[in-house]
Amino acid sequence: MADNDTPNSEPPERSQEQELLQALKHYSEKVVRIWATRRNWGEMAQPDGVGEAASDCQDSIRLQLRLRHGRVLDASFVSEGCGATFACASAAAELARGRTAQGLLTLTPQDVLEELEGLPAHNAHCADLAIDALRRAASDLLSTSAHPWKRLYR
């Protein structure tokens, strides 16, 4: 048998469209749109506040905030883990915009789930992870606002 005649033991790759259609069976359209557009994802240059959190399942989120006139002007994140973690981090970034650092501390995992129009029950812990990272970023904002010199050591 020639090299090009050997059967491929790996399953054929699914197209991105097929992946998204499959995801819509389990996740809201909003969650799938976040995955497809990678909304809020990426490192922020010189953030004013940073919060990192990791879960028992080894997923992690690093949330970065930029503050202007006492309110969050911009928010972004980087994450490692499943798609639900990605979506929850993006939702937390969306919820952060326009709020004060103190206002961030009032957000709950339920707020993230509502922003995403729900998640399967087995992914609900991802909202907890996103809120943990957001609260740590809020605490960092409060600390660096009180002691601006701390930004120099990032």
Domains recognised in the chain with CATH numbers: 39-153 (3.90.1010.10)
pTM of this prediction exceeds 0.75: yes
**Do 116 and 97 meet the contact criterion of CB atoms below 8 Å apart?**
no
Is beta strand 60-68 parallel, antiparallel or unpaired with respect to 71-80? Answer: antiparallel
Contact 94, 52 (CB under 8 A): no
Q: How confident is the prediction along the chain (154 residues), in pLDDT tens digits per residue?
A: 444 444 444 555 666 667 666 666 778 889 988 988 899 999 999 999 999 999 999 999 999 999 999 999 999 999 999 999 999 999 999 999 999 999 999 999 999 999 999 999 999 999 999 999 999 999 999 998 766 655 555 5
